[in-house]
Structure 1
Amino acid sequence: MRTSREKCVPESESPRRLDLPGVTDWKRVSPRYVLVEIVGTVLFGLALCGGAVVLWLVVGLEWAPYLIAAIVLLTLLTVLFEPRRVRAMGYQLRQDDLLFRRGIMFQRFVSVPYGRMQLVDITRGPIARWLGLADLKFVTAAASSGVLIPGLAGADAESLRDRLVELAESRRAGL
């Protein structure tokens, strides 16, 4: 229920949750990337469950079954949220920089100026390679500014890498 203090803004005029003002046309990561994330989450959950089983059977900890149940529950909840988390990822090539976003509750927007890019790297894990996906990583001079765009189609990652290298070289030449 609205209070008298709240403004009634039409749906078409209200800003969308994951967008910045003036930024439109986000390119999303591949929907197949959800499978990569789910497999990674399940394997991690199985490894943790295996450690808890060792604690239970070998060490004899009585509370280990509760730990196993908690691990299974957290793994299932994480798997349920993976599709939404992957849909929240996107990037946009702007005039002077690349803008990347990720996150649902804790949103992160990273802007990487083309002239500051020192390395554009493509990596492929075994599951991503099987699905034809690749990750694109940008490295700048700042230690904490490594940006990773995961789950791009292989051909898209290669063309984006070539485009970014071209833009980076032209912007550095102008410095």
Structure 2
Amino acid sequence: METGSPAGAGTEGREPEWTGLPPGLLRMRRMLLSVWLGSAALAVGLPLGLLVGPCWAAFALLPAALAAWGWVLLGRNWRSWRYAERADDLLISRGVLWREETVVPYGRMQLVEVTSGPVERYFGLASVQLHTAAAATDATIPGLHPAEAERLRDRLTELGEARSAGL
């Protein structure tokens, strides 16, 4: 994608150029799933196996099965997230079963934030949060590389200021 001009500029009637999220977000979410549900499997299986009997330790398979199911669902969810910069707005699309597409006009943006918690920083990720005049259209793009998040923040801020000046 070009950084000099917005994707989709001058391409009315054509499909926007979508950008997916980096695989680091999927790795981070799968690691968190493994840590939490692995701990749950130990917390369930170990006491039951020691206190009640070894056959009761089989209940530890429930969190393990949930982890396997979650592993697949996280992959599908990660593939569903994408965004596209157009001439007048930003599109954010997400969802597998319930598809949701958010259109954020540049002129309606009031604040663009880049955030990164400790786990996100460990995986080299950041999120971009868009705040608009209408709270219902606030949107987030999670799991971007920090350089891309800052580029997107600067670009959206610049376009937002240019569009709102014309109001």
TM-score range, shorter-chain basis? 0.7 to 0.9
Which structure shows the bigger proportion of residues in helix conformation?
A: 2
Aligned to 2:23: 31
Report if the CA contact (8 A) 1:31-1:87 is conserved: no
Give the deviation of 1:93 after TM superposition.
0.6
Aligned counterparts of 2:29 and 2:83: Cα–Cα separation in 1: 19
Q: Does 1:98 align with 2:103?
A: no
The answer to whether the 8 A contact 1:91-1:100 is kept is: yes
Say whether residues 1:77 and 2:69 are aligned partners: yes
Q: Which residue of 1 aligns with 2:34?
A: 42
- TM-score under structure 2 length normalisation: 0.77
User: What's the TM-score once normalised by structure 1's chain length?
Assistant: 0.73
CA distance in 2, matches of 1:54, 1:141: 52
Aligned to 1:125: 117
Aligned in 2, Cα 1:149/1:52: closer, same or farther, shift over 3 Å? same
Unaligned runs of 5+ in 2: 1-12
Task: For residue 72 of structure 1, report the CA deviation from its aligned partner.
Answer: 2.1
Q: Given residue 133 of structure 1, which amino acid in structure 2 is its aligned partner?
A: L
Task: Report the aligned-residue RMSD.
Answer: 2.7
Q: Render the CA deviation track for 1:136-161: whole Å, top value 9, x for unaligned.
A: 11111222322110111111110110
Alignment partner for residue 142 of structure 1, among 134, 137, 144? 134
Unaligned runs of 5+ residues in structure 1 are 1-20
Residue of structure 2 equivalent to 1:87? 79
SS in 1 for 2:151: helix
Instruction: For residues 99-134 of structure 1, give each alpha carbon's deviation from its aligned partner in whole angstroms, at most 9, with x where no partner exists.
Output: 001122221111111111111111112232123211
**Contact 1:38–1:82 (CA under 8 A) maintained in structure 2:** yes
Q: How many residues align?
A: 153
Letter in 1 for 2:110: Q
**2-structure distance, mates of 1:118, 1:55:** 52
